[in-house]
Amino acid sequence: MSKQAVAGNTSARDTRYWVKAIIGLALIFGIQFIPAPAPITQPGMAVIGMFVGLIWMITAVDKVWPTFAVICLFSFYAFDIYPDSTASSPVYETVIQSFGNWIVLFIVTMLLLCEALQQVGLLRRMTLWFITRKVAQKGPWALTTMMLLATLVVGAIMDCTPTAMVMIVIAHEVFNAFGFKEGDEWPKMIIAAIPMTVTIAFGMTPIGHNLVIAVMDIVAAASGESINMVQYMLIGVPVGLILFAILILYFKYFVKPDTSKFNDVDFSGLRALKPGKMSAQEKIVAVVACAVLLFWLAPGVLGIVAPDSSILAFVNEMTMLYPVMAAIALLAFIHIDGKPILNMSEALNKISWTPTFMFASVVMIATALRQDTVGVIDWVDAYVAPAVSGFSPFVMVLVLAAITVAVTNFLNNTAVGMLFATACAPFALSVGVNPVIVAVVIALGSNLAYTTPAASFVATFSVTDPYCNGGYVLRHGIVMAVISVIVCGILCYPLGSMLF
């Protein structure tokens, strides 16, 4: 490519960037000047503008610097929104509501725990356990199922980014071992299906999944009813497993990628990928991670078997944040062979800080939207709730699933999930929908972002991989989005009604 062409492309990208950035800034700073329709207040209009503009910015421009632009504007309204604040400055109140939110620290600690699992090789061991089973050697679709099942299981208890990264790397190792090349259909399908499976897994459980936990927290705060992990998983896991099964059946019987190369494949080559014995570091990290998981699940189990026990009260008081903080401190404290199991300086350099900054601003605005001083919830109760009160709860859940999945495939799923949770939770009870079902539909639906990197970062792995391409992901992602709407809409309400 000539220098003139490169310069032209750069200039065009710069122009697009500035146009999109100006649109976002106009939304963030301009909507506050629109007269507020009662009962929404003028600070409420400012918060709405911040949210609309931030969604645009996160989706089309950047996920980090718009956070600071929003925080700067929010500071002018912080004392109007929180008149009982004890902070000495509205700027400090803004920091408390953004970076001071517990979910932000939870994200950092979860990313560090995931980094520990990756550093010691435990994450890779977990995935290879599935791929090196004898059942995976029975043919192309047995191997496909086991590869994607590994993705689903690991993704259900891990952050989405390291899960997708490790699985893509292992997939490339399998391609090389079997002699596949770029352009072959089976590798293309695998690379597209891995991020899709991760998105399904990410919505199945709240275990270490930031968006799901944020949605649960928002819905619980707005409805006044607590939602624990076990309650969520009783709906999320069955629905996720059905979506996973449909994903495999769709690719096998409708996409039908060419698998004829497997006729000459020696499946014994998979044995070379099998890891050796677990190291002491792996064992310690595994024990610590399992302890954190048990602590998280304890409230749901104890709430059923011992609802009045002092143990349940203690676990609830510790919250989900305490065990993961303790785990990070312990893994950094324990040294083997003169080195810490979790090297904090290395880990802090490796983890992505983007989710932390993004959540800080989105949580700040989502929390503000629930305040009486903003008036958004009163407006929803006055105008939206009566408009939908004539619909049955089943139809409402179906519509909510359809809108959530549709929007989240083209806009940032984090912002979409938290916006929908904030808007839909207040009147869930008033129209007869259990808030647990609302939380699951929104959290699961907003995670099912199959199609574009703008919607979910994990889609970047398939779109940019040399074995795959964006058009392939978009086509099959849209099909899976439609299927997901049907499955979530039909199953979530009846399943939730039977359980709760």
> In the chain, count of helices (H) and strands (E)?
24, 2
Neighbours of 348 (CB within 10 A): 13
Q: For residue 228, what pLDDT is reported?
A: 84
Rounded CA gap, 471 and 489, in Å? Answer: 27
What is the amino acid identity at position 52? V
Mean pLDDT of 337-361: 90
Percent of the chain with pLDDT over 70: 96
Overall average pLDDT of the 183-201 stretch: 94
pLDDT digits (tens, 9 = 90+) for 412-441: 888 888 888 887 777 676 667 788 888 889
Alpha helices in 251-333 (DSSP H): 280-305, 310-318, 321-333
| More confidently predicted of 150 and 227 | 150
Average pLDDT score over residue span 128-148: 90
Q: pLDDT averaged over the chain?
A: 88
Backbone angles phi, psi at 352, to 5 degrees: -85, 125
Q: Please report, rounded to a whole number, the percentage of residues in the chain having pLDDT higher than 90.
A: 44
Mean pLDDT of 259-286: 83
Quote the distance between the C-alpha of residue 429 and its chain's center: 25
Please name the helix (run of DSSP H) or strand (run of DSSP E) that holds residue 422, with its range, or none: helix 413-424
Which of 46-60, 84-98, 380-394 tops mean pLDDT? 84-98
94 CA to centre of own chain: 25
Local structure of 183: helix, strand or coil = coil
Residue 451 has pLDDT above 90, yes or no: no
pLDDT one-digit tens code per residue, 100-112:
999 899 989 999 9
Bigger pLDDT: 499 vs 337:
337
pLDDT band for 83, please (50, 70, 90 cuts): very high
pLDDT at 202 over 80: yes
- The predicted pLDDT at position 112 comes to 93
Amino acid identity, position 135:
V
Task: Give phi and psi for 336, each to the nearest 5.
Answer: -130, 130
pLDDT, greater one: 8 or 258: 258
> What's the rounded Cα separation, in Å, for the pair 278 and 336?
14
Distance CA 186, CA 166 (A): 19
Q: CA 440 to CA 431: how far, in whole Å?
A: 17
Interval 239-265 mean pLDDT: 92
Confidence of residue 325 (pLDDT cuts 50, 70, 90): very high
The whole-number average pLDDT for the span 156-176 is: 89
pLDDT of residue 138: 87
Gap between the Cα atoms of 500 and 494, Å rounded: 10
pLDDT of residue 152: 96
> Where residue 43 falls among pLDDT bands split at 50, 70, 90?
very high
Task: Give the per-residue pLDDT at 304.
Answer: 82
DSSP for 225-244? ----HHHHHHHHHHHHHHHH
Task: Dig out the tokens for 27 from the structure.
Answer: 């939304």
Position 463 scores a pLDDT of 87
